[in-house]
């Protein structure tokens, strides 16, 4: 009886081990298939985006030719200004960059999670980038991009698990926030603001490295033009503007770029240097 029971238990253990191994193989195969599908669709999306950019350039050339021949060059100037403000064309100019990265503990995997949120204490979160972006807008930024993703009036900084998304495009560390504007004025205003104190608390309390540098020729790439469904142009035409400080790479407007209002607003107040991150 003892031998029979031992054989039966051994048989059951072998069957259980084989079942677990088979289930693990199925999960790994499903994960690999999902990664392959995501990669293929991202590649197809990039190709379509490149084609859209080519078509937009052709449309812009045809529009310039028609309006130039009809003597309505002022409309082109006003349109260029609105394109810069709306973030649908690439711009270049002086400004500052704010670089955030995960702490060494978070990278090594030894950093504890932040309660039920699942975020590690030393890992940069979507809310951190929201606060930085809003602080740069308030400091006088005229255009902002994060890891090459332009922020427009329709942009959203979100998270999926521990991945940070800007307009549904995933970001990888380090997180480089580029802001075009007056470097000296922005550094002074940004450093003395509540956002500057918040970044100092990230360094002191969680070991998240933050670097702020000025540049003379920074570039923010073009964003995605929003599709208007309900909005229509007013019959009195495009409003007049003044001369810009940010130069568009696709067009050269002679009107002033005013700072668009940010759309990615932090849902929690900036903590003090001793406040625990949620």
Q: Which of 115-124, 239-248, 261-270 tops mean pLDDT?
A: 115-124
Report d(CA 242, CA 240) in Å as an integer: 7
Q: Length of the chain in residues, anyone?
A: 278
Report d(CA 149, CA 71) in Å as an integer: 36
Name the one residue in this structure whose structure tokens are 């932090």: 266
Higher pLDDT, 140 or 22: 140
Higher pLDDT, 80 or 268: 80
Cα diameter, the chain:
103
Which percentage of the chain shows pLDDT scores above 70?
A: 78
Q: Single out the residue of 186, 155, 180, 158 nearest to residue 171, CA to CA.
A: 158
Task: Output the pLDDT for position 113.
Answer: 52
Pairing of strands 91-100, 169-170: unpaired
Question: Which tens digit of pLDDT belongs to each residue from 241-264?
Answer: 554 455 545 443 333 444 444 444
Report d(CA 86, CA 222) in Å as an integer: 10
The pLDDT of residue 202 is above 70: yes
HEC profile for 154-166? CCCEEEECCEEEE
Six-digit token pair at 149? Answer: 């993703």
Burial class of residue 214, CB neighbours in 10 A (0-12, 13-18, 19+): middle
Task: Output the pLDDT for position 226.
Answer: 73
Six-digit token pair at 165? Answer: 């998304």
Higher pLDDT, 227 or 206: 206
Six-digit token pair at 147? Answer: 């890891």
């Amino acid at each position: 009886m003892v031998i029979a029971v031992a054989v039966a238990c051994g048989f059951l253990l072998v069957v259980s081990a084989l079942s677990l191994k088979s289930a693990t193989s199925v999960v790994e195969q499903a994960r690999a298939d999902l990664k392959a599908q995501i990669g293929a669709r991202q590649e197809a999306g990039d190709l379509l985006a490149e084609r859209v950019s080519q078509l937009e350039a052709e449309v812009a050339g045809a529009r310039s030719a028609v309006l130039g021949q009809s003597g309505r060059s002022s409309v082109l100037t006003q349109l260029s200004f609105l394109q810069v403000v709306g973030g649908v064309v690439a711009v270049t100019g002086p400004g500052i960059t704010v670089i955030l990265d995960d702490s060494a503990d978070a990278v090594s995997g030894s950093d504890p999670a932040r309660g039920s949120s699942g975020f590690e204490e030393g890992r940069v979160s979507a809310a951190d980038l929201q606060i930085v972006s809003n602080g740069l807008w308030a400091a006088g930024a005229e255009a902002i991009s994060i890891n090459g993703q332009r922020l427009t009036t329709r942009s959203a900084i979100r998270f999926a698990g521990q991945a940070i998304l800007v307009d549904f495009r995933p970001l990888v560390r380090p997180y480089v926030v580029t802001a075009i504007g007056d470097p000296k004025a922005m550094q002074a205003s940004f450093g003395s603001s509540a956002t500057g104190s918040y970044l100092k608390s990230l360094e002191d309390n969680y070991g998240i490295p933050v670097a702020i540098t000025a540049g003379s020729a920074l570039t923010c790439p073009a964003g995605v033009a929003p599709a208007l469904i309900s909005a229509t142009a007013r019959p009195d035409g495009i409003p007049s503007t003044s001369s810009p400080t940010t130069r568009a790479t696709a067009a050269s407007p002679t009107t002033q770029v005013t700072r668009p209002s940010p759309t990615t607003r932090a849902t929690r107040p900036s903590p003090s240097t001793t406040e625990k991150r949620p």
